[in-house]
Structure 1
Amino acid sequence: MARSSTPHIDPKGVPIAETILLPGDPLRAKFIAETFLSDVQQFNEVRNMLGFTGTYRGKPVSVMGTGMGIPSISLYSYELIHDFGVKNLIRVGSCGAMQEGMELYDVVIAQGASTDFEDYVAQFDLPGTWAPLSSYRLLSKAAAVAEERGQRTHVGNVLSSDVFYSADTTALSRWAKLGVLAVEMESVGLFANAAAAGVDALGIFTVSDHIITHEETTPAERQTAFTGMIEIALEAL
C-alpha cells in the first residue's frame, strides 16, 4: 500500500511529479530546480536529501538528490516509484570515462549498467545473470535531442561500481576492454527497480574525469557546470 510519507521522503502535501531527475548531490538538485524549473516547491528535506517540484515548459517535473552508491539510489527510487507514483526516472550525474577518444564534458547515455555489486541484482532470484537496461523510449529521445544540439555523446554500457577506492588497480581496465564506456555508482539499482516495477528509467552523465588521461573537473564544476545533460534530459521528457 502506497504511503503519503516514508522515513526518507516527507512531501508534506507538495506533489511529486511522475517525471523526476535524480542527481546524486542534493545541492545539484537545488541548482537544477532554481535554474531550469518554474513555480518551484520543495517537497523533501529529510536527511538534507533535497527534493523539488516545478514545471518545465508547462509540464510538472521533480528533481531530488539520491546520495552516493547503489543502496542509496535504490532506496529512494523504490519509494518514489511505489509510494509516490513516479513513472519516469532519469539519473543525471558525473562519470569517469574509460575509453580513448572521450573528453571532459562529453555526455554518456547509459544503454545498460554492469556492476561489481552482485548482491542487489541477486535479490530477484533469477536463474542466471541479469543485465539491467535503461528504457529505450527515454534513451532514443535523449539521443535524438543530443544529436540535434550537437552535443558530443556516447551511448552504451556503463559500470555501476560499489568501490570508489579499489585495491584492484586493474579492475577498470578489464571492464574497459569489454567496451564499457564509463564508471559511475548508481544506475544498476535504478534500472533494476524500474524494470521490476514496469516503469521507465535512464542514466545521463557528464564526463567529469578520465581514467586513462587522469584529467578531471573541479567539485564546483560538477555541481553547477554540467548543464548540457540536464537540458538533454528535460527536452527528452
Structure 2
Amino acid sequence: MSIQPHILVAPHQVSDKAIVCGEPARVNRIASLLTEVEFLAENREFRLMRGRYGQILITVCSTGIGAPSALIALEELHQCGVKQLIRIGSAGALQPHIAIGDVIIAEAAVRDDGGSASYVKPSFPAYANHRLVAKLQEYCVQHRISAHSGVVRSHDSFYTDQEQDLCNYWHRRGVLGADMETAALFTVGRLRELEVAAILTNVVLFEQDVKAGVNDYVAASQACAQGERHAILAALNALCD
C-alpha cells in the first residue's frame, strides 16, 4: 500500500479514529495518555503516533499552523481510512466570560479561512458532527470542566491591520473564540463524509494582546496545561464511547 506523500504513513498503520492538533509536541502529550504507543512518522509539521485508549486504537497527528497544512493532514488521513477525527487545539476568546484554560466545544465555525474557500463556496456551512459534540459536552459536564459550546471563527492571520475591529465585530455576534483550523476541518470533513469535531483550550483573554497570551501558553501556565489535559481526555473519551 502506498505511503502518503506528506504524513508518510500507509493505510495499514492508521486507525479509523484520529486526533489532530497543531503543535507536534502536543502529540507526545496526547500519546502519554495512551498505551501500546507506536511512533509512526515525522515530516515537516506532521508528527504521527498511534496507541490505545482502553481497547480503542487512536492515531494522533500534528498539523502545524493554519488551514492548508491541516487540510493536507485530513485528506491524507482520510485516504488512510480515518472515519472520525477530533481537533484538539487552542483559541483566543472573543467573549469576556471565557477564562484562560476554559475549553470551547465548537458546534460550527465562521469560514474566514482561505483553505475551505478553495473547496466550496462560502455559503456552504462549517459545522461539527452532532454526536461527537454531544459526547464532548457530556464528558465536560460529568467532570465539571468549565466548557463553552457554540460558534468559533477560523482565520488566516493574527496580525492583520484591522485585527481588533474584526475581533469586536465577531464578539458582538456572539462568536466564542478564534482559531485557524476548525472551519476548514469541518467543511472538508463534511465533504469527505468524515465525522469531525473540535475542542479548543482558551489561551488568550478577550481583548488581551495576542503575543502576551501566546507567550503565557508557551510558558505552560497551569491553567492552560490543565485546560489542554481536559480537552485531550474529553476527545479521547468521545472517540471511545
TM-score with structure 2 setting the length: 0.89
Question: Residue 59 in 1 paired to residue 30 in 2?
Answer: no
Among residues 74, 77, 82, which one is paired with 2:74 in the alignment?
77
Among residues 140, 147, 153, which one is paired with 1:159 in the alignment?
153
- Structure 1 match to 2:4: 6
What is the alpha-carbon distance in structure 1 between the residues aligned to residue 159 and residue 125 of structure 2?
Answer: 24
What is the alpha-carbon distance in structure 1 between the residues aligned to residue 125 and residue 9 of structure 2?
Answer: 33
5+ unaligned residues in a row in structure 2: which ranges?
A: none
Q: Could you list the per-position Cα deviations for residues 32-74 of structure 1 after superposition, in whole angstroms to 9, with x for gaps in the alignment?
A: 11x2110111112122521000000111011110010011101
Q: Could you list the per-position Cα deviations for residues 171-195 of structure 1 after superposition, in whole angstroms to 9, with x for gaps in the alignment?
A: 1110111111000000111111110
What is the alpha-carbon distance in structure 2 between the residues aligned to residue 218 and residue 231 of structure 1?
Answer: 19
Secondary structure of 1:80 counterpart: helix
- Structure 2 match to 1:15: 13
What is the alpha-carbon distance in structure 1 between the residues aligned to residue 143 and residue 4 of structure 2?
Answer: 39
- Structure 1 match to 2:42: 45
Question: Residue 91 in 1 paired to residue 87 in 2?
Answer: yes
Q: Is the 8 A contact 1:12 1:43 kept in 2?
A: no
- Superposed counterparts of 1:95-110, under 5 Å: 95-110=91-106
Aligned-residue sequence identity (percent) comes to: 29
What is the alpha-carbon distance in structure 2 between the residues aligned to residue 135 and residue 192 of structure 1?
Answer: 11
TM-score with structure 1 setting the length: 0.91
What is the alpha-carbon distance in structure 2 between the residues aligned to residue 118 and residue 22 of structure 1?
Answer: 19
Length, aligned pairs only: 231
Secondary structure of 2:76 counterpart: helix
Among residues 163, 167, 191, which one is paired with 1:172 in the alignment?
167
Question: Residue 28 in 1 paired to residue 22 in 2?
Answer: no
- Structure 1 match to 2:133: 139
The one-letter amino acid of 1:195's match is R
Q: Could you list the per-position Cα deviations for residues 77-136 of structure 1 after superposition, in whole angstroms to 9, with x for gaps in the alignment?
A: 01111x101011101011101102110110100000102225633532x5x612210100
Deviation at 1:13, TM superposition (A): 7.8
What is the alpha-carbon distance in structure 2 between the residues aligned to residue 213 and residue 196 of structure 1?
Answer: 35
5+ unaligned residues in a row in structure 1: which ranges?
A: none
Q: Could you list the per-position Cα deviations for residues 134-163 of structure 1 after superposition, in whole angstroms to 9, with x for gaps in the alignment?
A: 100100111011100000110000010111
The one-letter amino acid of 2:234's match is I
Q: Is the 8 A contact 1:16 1:84 kept in 2?
A: yes
Q: Which moved more, 1:115-124 or 1:189-198?
A: 115-124
Q: Is the 8 A contact 2:45 2:64 kept in 1?
A: no
What is the alpha-carbon distance in structure 1 between the residues aligned to residue 115 and residue 19 of structure 2?
Answer: 25
Q: Is the 8 A contact 2:100 2:205 kept in 1?
A: yes
What is the alpha-carbon distance in structure 1 between the residues aligned to residue 183 and residue 20 of structure 2?
Answer: 14
Q: Which moved more, 1:219-228 or 1:85-94?
A: 219-228
